[in-house]
Amino acid sequence: MKIAIFGTGYVGLVTGACLANLGHHVTCVDIDENKINSIKQGIIPFYEPGLPKLVKNNIQKKRLQFTTDAKTAINEAQAIFNCVGTPGKEDGSANLEYVFQVTKTVAVHTPSDQFKILINKSTVPPGTAKSCQKLIKETNPSSQVQILSNPEFLKEGAAVHDFTHPDRIVVGTNQTTTKNNELIEKAKSLIRKIYLGRSRLYIPFIETSWETSEIIKYASNAFLATKISFINEVANIADIANADIKVIAQAMGMDYRISSKFLGAGVGYGGSCFPKDVRALANTAKQFGYTANLLTQVDLTNKAQKDVLPNKILNYFQNKIENKTITVLGLSFKPKTSDMREAPSTHIIKKLIQNGAKIKAYDPIAIEEAKHLFTENELQSITFTQSQKDATTNTEAIALITEWDEFRTLDFESLKIEAPNCHVIFDGRNIYEPDQVIEAGFDYVGIGRQ
Ligand code: UDX
């Protein structure tokens, strides 16, 4: 099938490359000419394991192309995916400007006698698909473009795998209680055809209304974020009550109704989705006249959690960290990505600098992206190093912020020799065994671990 994808961010590029790999002919469209030219040369604008190879292979096989020419891409495509960004606004609501721009462009460039489906893959609040369909009609009253909602659930760092092995495929249409009309049936059968190569017996295909589909995505992200804020709160209680959150989470997770996933206490969640989507769902509720207290509290708990580790560092040193060298291991919001959006590391480093510390920071991938998030003044207090060893040599404290695999096997015995003035490890992700750290001669400070 001929498919156009609008937006070459995480969702758009992964969707485009994976659909091309299933055998479709995919054209990815973006308004950013420099970005398109770079991708054509195989330069992916972000770090995502497996994606560069997939893009390269499918370009070579002539199933994947990139352009800024929206008109031609729309004309040739039977199905168009809308994968542009929906960044959060000041008030927490999602900015739908780009989603509507693409919708309008599709309406303008689709001849009235052509049937096409326009699939909203971006995360959008309930009511967006309906507004898009209205916009299509207003722009071209005889248009046959049919809007579908088909949220994407991929995780950064595992995006290609998540796309090819989804837990479910959700498709929302303008279902009515009366008999569905012919165009909707045609649209549903077209999207089933797109995913034919992706579907497996064990992957449920859920067909529902636009609004239900839109809320499924928000609710899934908000629920996972709630789990994290919940376990972080219990970790803070465990700290005071002299209990161990790792054992608590492990035992809780054995109850199949709870499950152990997303019960990892730490420095707070970040990224492009959880913070934005929790706020957007709360904001949507507010627009409907409902106060979503739980969601607001999940967000506030997470904001507060970002202070927990720097406060522990300040407490440990009795607020005297002026000119102290503190090593920060890991900058990206989670491992296997260069994404720094809402990364707890930024907040933590800024707070330590405000209190006079000198930072040595290392991340396997995210250093360049991180540099843009600090002021000139702050940058004077940060040394970004080329390796973990450079960062941990001659330091006075080590704070693990992002649990990249290479930090899991820190050699504490060697550390003692390379950093004789370092007597403490702050474990922001609870990845180390306190006994081993203490045995090597360090103090151990985790999150909710006594
Ligand atoms: C998330 C959803 O998982 C995905 O389905 C959706 O499509 C987009 O949002 P992503 O933001 O890429 O994906 O990362 P995820 O692995 O979910 O982690 C989000 C944040 O939660 C990270 O900051 C991570 O460190 C944190 N986290 C995760 C915890 O603090 N504890 C946990 O137990 C799990």
Write the CB contacts of 401 (distance below 8 Å, at least 6 apart in sequence): 267, 309, 328, 329, 330, 331, 344, 345, 348, 428, 429
Which atom of ligand 1 lies at the shortest distance from residue 162's CA?
5
Predicted local confidence at residue 106, as pLDDT: 98
* CB distance 446 to ligand 1 below 6 Å: no
E strand or H helix that includes residue 357? none
pLDDT of residue 110: 96
pLDDT of residue 179: 57
Nearest residue to 30 via CA among 68, 4, 65, 73: 68
Say if ligand 1 is within 6 A of residue 333 CB.
yes
pTM score? 0.96
Contacts of 421 (CB under 8 A, 6+ apart): 394, 395, 396
pLDDT the model gives residue 176: 64
Q: Is 264 in the pocket of ligand 1 (CB under 6 A)?
A: yes
Q: Which pair of structure tokens corresponds to residue 208?
A: 């529902």
If you average pLDDT over residues 359-378, what whole number do you get?
Answer: 98
Chain segment 214-260, per-residue pLDDT in tens: 999 999 999 999 999 999 999 999 999 999 999 999 999 999 999 99
The mean of the pLDDT values for the chain is: 96
Atom 15 (ligand 1): residue with closest C-alpha? 155
Query: Helix H segments across 260-343?
Result: 274-287, 293-305, 308-316
Q: What is the pLDDT of residues 99-125, one digit of tens each?
A: 999 999 999 999 999 999 999 999 999
Residue of 11, 170, 221, 269 best suited for mutating to test ligand 1, as the one with most atoms within 8 Å of CB: 269
Residue 177 has pLDDT above 90, yes or no: no
CA–CA distance, 134 with 128 (Å, rounded to integer): 10
Q: For residue 175, what pLDDT band results from cuts at 50, 70 and 90?
A: confident
Check pLDDT > 90 for residue 180: no
User: Angle at the Cα of 428 (from 427 to 433), degrees rounded to 5?
Assistant: 35
Catalytic residue among 18, 28, 132, 273: 273
pLDDT for residue 244: 97
Q: How much is the pLDDT for 202?
A: 76
Atom number, ligand 1, closest to the C-alpha of residue 220: 5
Mean pLDDT (whole number) for 149-162: 96
Spacing, Cα 228 to ligand 1 middle (Å): 9
Residues 6+ apart with CB under 8 A from 190: 1, 78, 79, 117
pLDDT category at 305 given cuts 50, 70, 90 is very high
Query: Which of 11, 155, 281, 431, when mutated, tests ligand 1's pocket best, judged by the most ligand atoms within 8 Å of its CB?
Result: 155
The full set of domains in the chain, from first to last, is 2-208 (3.40.50.720), 308-445 (3.40.50.720)
- Other C-beta atoms closer than 10 Å to the C-beta of 167 total 10
Which atom belonging to ligand 1 lies closest to the Cα atom of 402?
25
154 lines ligand 1 (CB under 6 A): yes
Is pLDDT at 64 greater than 70 in this prediction?
yes
What are 1-18's pLDDT values in tens digits? 999 999 999 999 999 999
Mean pLDDT on 276-285: 96
C-alpha to C-alpha distance for 151 and 154, rounded to whole angstroms = 9
> Which residue's CA is the closest to the ligand 1 atom numbered 26?
269
Task: Using only the alpha carbons of the chain, give its radius of gyration.
Answer: 24
Q: How far apart are CA 65 and CA 91, in angstroms?
A: 37
Binding site membership of 429 for ligand 1 (Cβ less than 6 Å)? no
Q: Which residue has the tokens 């002026």?
A: 322
pLDDT of res. 181: 84
163 Cβ inside 6 Å of ligand 1: no
Catalytic residue check, 28: no
Candidate from 194-203, 291-300, 403-412 with smallest mean pLDDT = 194-203
Contact 46, 115 (CB under 8 A): no
Which of 10, 224, 331 is the pocket-test mutation for ligand 1 (most atoms within 8 Å of CB)?
Answer: 224
Residue nearest ligand 1's atom 13 by CA: 155
Strands 79-82 and 2-6: parallel
Per-residue 3-state assignment (H helix, E strand, C coil) for 378-402:
HHCCEEECCCHHHHHCCCCEEEECC
Q: Is the CB of 444 under 6 A from ligand 1?
A: no
